[in-house]
Amino acid sequence: MATEGRLRVKTLVMVCAMVVCANVGDLMLKRAMLQIGAVQLSETGLAHAFRMTVSSGTLWVGIIFLCGFMLSYMTVLSWADYSYVMPAGAFGYALLTFFAVIFLHEAVSPRRWVGVVLICVGVLLVGQTKPRTTAVAREALA
Amino acid sequence: MTHVALFLSFLIFGSTGGEIAITRGMKATGEPGRLRPKEMLQFLGRALCNGWFWAGVPLMALSFYALLLLLSWEPISFVIPASALSYVVGTIGAKYILGEQISAARWAGVVLVCAGVALVALG
C-alpha cells in the first residue's frame, strides 16, 4: 500500500514537471520568435533568422525547458503506464487557459471553459486509476 | 481532401506509434534508482542505447512534419481538435501493444480529455 502511494506521488511529481516544462518551454519559444519577428523565406532572410535564433537567450531558455520536458517524460514512462501519462499531460491545455486569464487577462469563451472542465474531470478520472498495470524492469545497474 | 486525411493519419499514428515505441524502450531501460544527477545520467545513457527509443524518434519526426504541413493547409481550429483523436488511438495502442489494463474509469477519462482538448482548441 505504501509502495502504491509512493508510486502515485512520484508519478504526480514527474507529470507536473512535464506539464510545467512543456508549457514554459513553448511560451519561451513563442516569446523568442516574437522578438525575432516574421521570418522571410529567402536565403538572406533564413540566414538572418538562424543568426537571431542561435543568439537568442530566451530561445535557449525555452530549449532547456523542452529538454527538461523530454527527460521527465522519459523518466515517468520508465515506470508508469503510457495510457496514464498521456491524458494526464493534457492538463497543460487547462493550465495555459488559467495562465492566459490570470497573467494576460485574456477573455476565454464559454466553449473553452467547458473544454477546460472536461480536461480537468478527465485527468482526475485517469488519476484515480493505478499508475502502473504492467510489469516493469528494475534499474538495470542496481 | 484525401491528402489531408492521409497526413492526419500520419500525424495521429506517427505520434502515438512514436510514443508507444519510446514507452517500450523506457520500460526496457528500467526506472532510475534515484532522481539524482549521477543516476539520471546513467538512466539517460541506457535509454539512448535502446533500439525502441530510436524507433520512436523518426515516427515522432514524421508526425511533427505532418502537423506542419496540415497547419499550412487547414486552420488550427480543425487540425488540433482532429489530432485529439490520438488520445483514443494511443489508449487502444497501450492496451493491445503495451498490454496495459484500461479500466472503465481510465477510458472515461481519456474520452473526456479528448473532447476537452477539441473544445479548447476550437476556442
One digit per residue, the tens of pLDDT, for chain B of length 123 reads: 788 899 999 999 999 999 999 999 999 998 888 888 888 999 999 999 999 999 999 999 999 888 888 888 888 778 888 888 899 999 999 999 999 999 999 999 999 999 998 888 887
pTM of the model: 0.84
Work out the mean pLDDT of chain A and round it to a whole number: 85
CB contact under 8 A, A109 and B98: no
Q: A87 and B110: CB-CB below 8 Å?
A: yes
Q: Do A87 and B87 touch (CB under 8 A)?
A: yes
Q: Which residue has the higher pLDDT, A35 or B53?
A: B53
Nearest Cβ partner for A134 among B40, B91, B99: B99
Residues of A in contact with B116 (CB under 8 A): 90, 93-94, 114-122
Q: How far apart are CA B119 and CA B112, in angstroms?
A: 10
CB atoms near residue B61 (< 10 Å): 12
Does the beta-carbon distance from A83 to B115 stay under 8 Å?
A: no
Residues 6+ apart with CB under 8 A from A125: B105, B106, B108, B109, B112
DSSP 3-state assignment of B99?
coil
